[in-house]
Amino acid sequence: MPRPIEALVHPDALAHNLERARARAPDCRSWAVIKANAYGHGIERAYEGLRAADGFALLDLAEAERVRALGWRGPILLLEGVFEPRDLELCSRLDLWHAVHCDEQIAWLAAHKTHRPHRVFLKMNSGMNRLGFTPTAFRGAWARLDALPQVDEISLITHFSDADGERGIAHQLAAFDAATRDLPGERCLSNSAALLRHGVKNDWVRAGILLYGSAPDFPEHDIAHWDLQPTMTLRSRIIATQTLAASDTVGYGSSFTAPGPMRVGVVACGYADGYPRLCPTGTPALVDGQRTRTIGRVSMDMLEVDLTDLPAAGIGSEVTLWGRGPGGAVLAIDEVARAAGTLGYELMCAVAPRVTMRVAED
């Protein structure tokens, strides 16, 4: 039989989280952001849970082709636009909307031969300093696009750098509003954090990480606060147990020393499966739905958990590394990510190809 580790995708949770986004902005249209292969869930596995969205936003043409192959006929937005002139041909064929964030993309559009004008989203660099035209250059870029027969409707978009933190969005919102005042076109501003924390509502909102059961502002707020549900479960089983005496050590580097008699379980999960090697002793895990902790260093293929207070646990016991556990128990991916010094985003996207991933039957 294969190793017992597997990842489950929960379409019901995806649908629930999308509805939470829609409830926060009932008069707006919602993009379901499915970049990075639907944040590691798999576009095809996530599609049923997210098909109530008004459109899908992603990065590359191959992902757009996969969404069209699933039967989606609604809007698809390329969040970074095209990467070379010939990409515009596929945009025409697949009816893709795309961001425009630099002069070169405008020039490519001007040289593009098409019978169907393109819907574009002109991006402003309102303070993130990543992609987009500065506020002073924005109106000139809009005028150049508006003069092109290759362009139909121009929407306006920006991205907030600090929607999840103390600085907030006021400085970027003010820059955007000042530069776009009296310009026509739909607006698209809110990412997950801006929607949940600041209630920014425009014509379109971009629901990203919230769709996948991670709180954008954790640890200030957790998924229970925002009424979100885990959409991915990483689970395995105990494949061995060890009984420790006081002063026995565990794992590479002997980084954990037993303070007294202990019982530990060896779990078929390691950093080669995508579980972070940096997770220290004390990282939460569930064994048969009961909360416990990891101990010692994470190895390539194994890690160890404390069974001292779980006498019924043994070989074959289910271990939830994150997500839904037995009996309705939940271990939010944000808790594990925090222990590793990273974000839930990274853990979702980093599940290794050798881990079987499937749609949950519940």
Q: Which residues are catalytically annotated? A: 35, 252
One-letter amino acid for residue 346 of the chain? E
One-letter amino acid for residue 342 of the chain? T
SS3 173: helix
CB 42 within 8 A of CB 357: yes
Would you say how long the chain is, in residues? 362
Cβ burial, residue 84 (10 Å; 0-12/13-18/19+): exposed
What lies within 8 Å, CB to CB, of 1 at 6+ separation is none
> Which residue, chain included where needed, has tokens 């502002």?
217
How much of the chain is helix, strand and coil, in % rounded to 5? Answer: 30, 25, 45
One-letter amino acid for residue 259 of the chain? P
- The C-alpha R_g of the chain, in whole angstroms, comes to 23
Strands 204-207 and 29-33: parallel
